[in-house]
Amino acid sequence: MSNQADLLLNKPSALNEHEFIQHYKDIYEHSSWVADAAWQHIQRCPRVADFDRRSALQALLYEIVESRDYEVKLALLRSHPDLAGKAALSGELTPSSTSEQAGVGLDQCTPAELARFTEYNNAYKAAFDFPFIMAVKGATKAQVLSAFESRINNNASQEFQTAMSQVHKIAAFRLAEK
């Protein structure tokens, strides 16, 4: 028996394909292909209602992403915006990213903080060829900046795995909010 925290308000089993994809398309940033693949998988399962549990749906989404090759994962990483970057400043973030960055105060950076974020974003992308990704929910600006400073020293393989882990953490937060 599942606990109440594991239940979804909008049961995937009650949604049609369009509703499902619309509802879950931004769990992984700009990657509706994950929701589409989940829908296709769920439709082949004899017990569709099993995916009404958040943990089951989260595990499925995770497996879909992790089963993809390096290039698809790299594209997923590259779909993420810079923290306190140009997209944020011009209001071009997804609603989820806007909320997550605002929750840390990245929408209220001083000019000096913005300059620091820009410097770190540029250095990080130069080193790894994808943006710095961190599940910022519950973090502070200082913690984000500290993570930049420590992760820039990772090797490429280690940082790719760290970034993927952060992407999954962001997805879990977003799914929990659904």
Q: Residue 177, Cβ neighbours under 10 Å: how many? A: 10
Q: How far is CA 24 from the centre of its chain?
A: 12
In the set 18, 23, 30, 80, the catalytic residue is 80
**What contacts 11, CB < 8 A, 6 or more positions away?**
49, 52
DSSP codes, 104-136: HTGGG--HHHHHHHHHHHHHHHHHHSS------
**What contacts 126, CB < 8 A, 6 or more positions away?**
none
Residue 7 has phi, psi (to 5 degrees) of -90, 145
Please confirm, yes or no, whether 80 is among the known catalytic residues.
Answer: yes
Which of the residues are catalytic?
80
